[in-house]
A and B are shown apart, each in its own frame.
Chain A
């Protein structure tokens, strides 16, 4: 088991009037090699949760196991650097972390910090630039001259260049145009499927959850509400209502059809599946 939370709590500013418990007794297992979505309302503790994964935040209570490294409350962890190399964390709006004069320098900044030689880092930088759909002509430009979406890609490339085993993304598509965010999501899916990386992604977009992820974790008020695989999650119609989540369009359509008297099976998750289910029903009536 690669990532495991055992009764992890995190309280901000403990022992002060501003004390705030962001995570309460969290038990969670993330399966290696899967793409897991983390969803939940704003302020529910998603960001706090993911910042534990590379020990940026340390649990105030409980125990955390990440890739065989154990982090316990009240104990200063060792080997933080190697953990941060193995768990790449892309923050919300990561474009603000760009600071070097050229894009190339910025991308190799991370790998060089982790002891990769300059040549290897440059080689890797060229690979990841291609991955995020930017060509090599960008390498010598200043990151500050790019558009918002391009900056985002460079920032993500900077993390990918570290070649992490686990990739954690905090709302990577927020503020991107629909096409750009689809490209991003399929990139993450490819990294997960082809390179075998464990991907965790914080998102508000249920379409992304349904179409790209394997598992889904729901965080509510600092606690894990449920963890399921995506299909069984969306099969349970009442769950979305309980959580006040607008289900993906395809599920909404299926529900609407069922309300009109059709009896469509629960496991239609694509346009094709739904279409064939509907046509079966229609034929049966004829």
Chain B
């Protein structure tokens, strides 16, 4: 057994589920398609065989009812993970997620917590159009009482899934199908990545690129390209959207004085705006240049690949944004 064996992002999630479910009989997985790789890839591989259909529950298409059932089970002492293989369908479940789960602990004066994971998968590209491609993390991050995590790497996918399940609060775990085949060394033993902590993926001195999820990889590519041109970019992977790792971002800007924010979501009223506001409030005087945002245009996702290529920013757009500051 090699400690350095490589694991794909999706199998890292699968390993997290196997390990947590073995350790804690109150954890169960529920959602549409958990029996079907067509829905959830190999993230649920072997779970039914190991834990049975009472803890790995494939469901009818009833997002509102099923998500509510997960919330109710959490209130009654279980630790459910409810999966939405396309997070667009999670919009049917906004009542149990927001009205109930997010508010429950507060509106009941701390008498009952809701340890549930709402797992939503973004499915960008593939000419899937507006209702199969949306990244809705900012919407959830706006809500008090919800934590939102978005791992970019296999290591963090496992560690954040473990942390999300163990957290006593509702956590929205958002991944991205395009990340599922990304491989890297992942420890075999169970571990967690702390919720609320980002990390520096690349040290640099000239500019800070703050990115999330799939865009972390584009940001790293951009930083490599920029380094060849003599620009030394620091890349921050947020890992958690809420609570935001404010210190990490502020410290980096205090060092570099320049900021490019890269989001997988839309430009307006999203997390890029939140990070810009954070720096405007906490570190305005250290800025040497205006802040630039790289995000989706305020437009629904198109189908045609020609339009998709224009719609989704890449490393080139990030590098260009950085160059505009220097």
Verify that A and B bind, or say they do not.
no
